[in-house]
Chains A and B, each alone.
Chain A
């Protein structure tokens, strides 16, 4: 009987505050992206629960005690039943310490999306937030927990910072003093739901990174508070009416959103500038800024970043500011890029010391 040789697989995985995403490349250079909303609601376990789930075609996870409706369906259930709380495995970019079911739900989402590793050289690359500038955040604990979740399924895991994933995906370039172009050199910024992550890289290597909490959720929350409006109404305005290049400032919700967007961008750049000062000597050439993340989706976001930059005194020159070609998928695509590089190196690795070095670098 002929033996089937398992073929190695390679995935990019972004375990985000709002969405869980994976990316995989096939033989025809197509990238397959899978996305699921990273949220759930709890349903009591009784004789009717399974029928309710089946009849509504809701997606679920079940442990010994309860059913959990997950993904987009969880939003529907939370909106339908007033006392049902929408819960998230992640908060502010890291595993939610107040959520006791986060591991159970995430473990099942991961296993159902990427499955068990077919062989010992199959690779997952995932990303974590850079060190926080505003409030402590245990990234080390978050990192090892994520790694544990993949390791239990047999995957070799490579972890990079989220801003670096943007650089690897979008290939910013820097022109050196001698006129040569250095690729993967510049600033990658991901404006996610829970956090903003920014990384300065040079030829694909991370030089420094930082993260801050003023991102999508903060903007929505502050705008809702300022205008005494439900969060859902703010989100609706953001998704349908907001143009940050030409904001209608007579509308109080748009005015609030515009103000907090400006504040979040300024806060990020100023804190980034502080960290940049530590490595200034290497970067006299103008730097390209590439922006990704769902929070950067509204029209006019990049021009607003340009406007904010003009008003700041930054310790570096900005060559240009551009949006990622696919802002919602740039981070996971960057993770896939790194996973493919790691996979190539692992294929050449001869011993466990090599393996450790490749995964740990």
Chain B
């Protein structure tokens, strides 16, 4: 399982995975057909997680915290919502377990009634298989009842634009601290009397 969610309202594209997420869409990438690479190898996914556009909800591979996420300012407590319908088939273990239980119970009922009616019961090997299967299903139901994979807290991550500008200004200043250059340009000078007139006209209009 590799469950991710688009935390923004806009489409987020993970080009190297050939996956596009609609606003607030959640998908299990392991269920996505014909991914060109593993989700954990995707540079686009890593970049989007770092920027906060995408959040990894649950996965069963590398430890969480591998990708450094920029913490988002949470204004209000998150509201639990139903998961968004996704294009990829998302396995609902609870549903699978309960859909299997019914036919299995029916089979057991028939076997028991055969025994009661002195009919030929299923061979010993089959019976132990059935008991094993019931045990496995019970474990699955217990696990999926405890898991939160199906419930996604909707988190609005909308960082103030001014703060983002400030953040980038500081980042660039830090990156460009020891940068020097010898640069020249192609220069042209043109007279344009209309520019001043246009500015005055637009100033009046706007």
Contact = CB atoms under 8 A, between A and B. Distances in A.
Same complex: yes
Interface of A: 25, 28-36, 53, 59-64, 70-72, 97, 103-104, 107-109, 111-113, 135-136, 140-141, 144-145, 147-149, 151-152, 168, 171, 183-184, 203-205, 326, 329, 333, 336-337, 340-341, 344-345
A333 B183 contact: no
A148 B171 contact: yes
Given A103-B176, A148-B165, A34 B187 contact: yes
Given A108-B179, A204-B205, A205-B206, A147 B168 contact: yes
Given A64-B178, A333-B192, A341-B203, A32 B169 contact: no
Given A34-B187, A108-B176, A59 B12 contact: no
Contacts of B191: 28-31
Given A107-B176, A112-B181, A148-B166, A136 B192 contact: no
A34 B168 contact: no
Contacts of A28: 191
Interface stretch (B86-94, B109-117, B193-201): B193-201
Given A29-B195, A36-B184, A148-B170, 8 more contacts: A31-B192, A33-B188, A62-B179, A62-B180, A109-B183, A135-B13, A145-B168, A183-B201
B13 A103 contact: no
A104, A144, A147, A203, most chain B CB atoms within 10 A: A144
Contacts of A62: 179-181
B169 A326 contact: no
B183 to A, nearest CB: 4
Contacts of B193: 29
Contacts of B203: 341, 344-345
Nearest to A343: B199
B186 interface: yes
B79 interface: no
Contacts, number: 155
A33 B183 contact: no
14 contacts: A29-B191, A32-B187, A61-B180, A107-B172, A108-B181, A112-B181, A135-B13, A136-B20, A151-B166, A152-B173, A204-B206, A333-B192, A340-B199, A345-B203
Nearest to A345: B203
Contact of A337 (B47, B178, B202): B202
Nearest to A361: B206
B169 A152 contact: yes
A131 B167 CA distance: 24
Top 7 A-B pairs, shortest CB-CB distance: A148-B168, A61-B181, A34-B185, A152-B169, A148-B169, A107-B176, A112-B183
Contacts of B47: 97
Contacts of A109: 181, 183
A72 to B, nearest CB: 8
Contact of B164 (A30, A63, A104, A144): A144
A63 B184 CA distance: 18
B199 A148 contact: no
Interface in B4-42: 10-13, 20
Given A34-B186, A341-B206, A103 B172 contact: yes
B168 A149 contact: yes
A283 B173 CA distance: 46
Contact of B172 (A64, A136, A152, A171): A152
Contacts of B199: 337, 340-341, 344
B51 interface: yes
B175 interface: yes
B189 interface: yes
A32 B191 CA distance: 9
A236 B189 CA distance: 27
A192 B161 CA distance: 27
Contacts of A113: 183, 185
Nearest to A141: B51
A147 B165 contact: yes
A89 B188 CA distance: 24
A294 to B, nearest CB: 13
A104 B179 contact: yes
A113 B194 CA distance: 25
Contacts of B189: 30-33
Nearest to B159: A144
B82 interface: no
A184 B180 contact: no
A70 B183 contact: yes
B169 A63 contact: no
Contact of A104 (B20, B167, B176): B176
B182 A59 contact: yes
A341 B182 CA distance: 32
Given A205-B206, A337-B202, A33 B187 contact: yes
Contacts of B10: 136, 140
A120 to B, nearest CB: 15
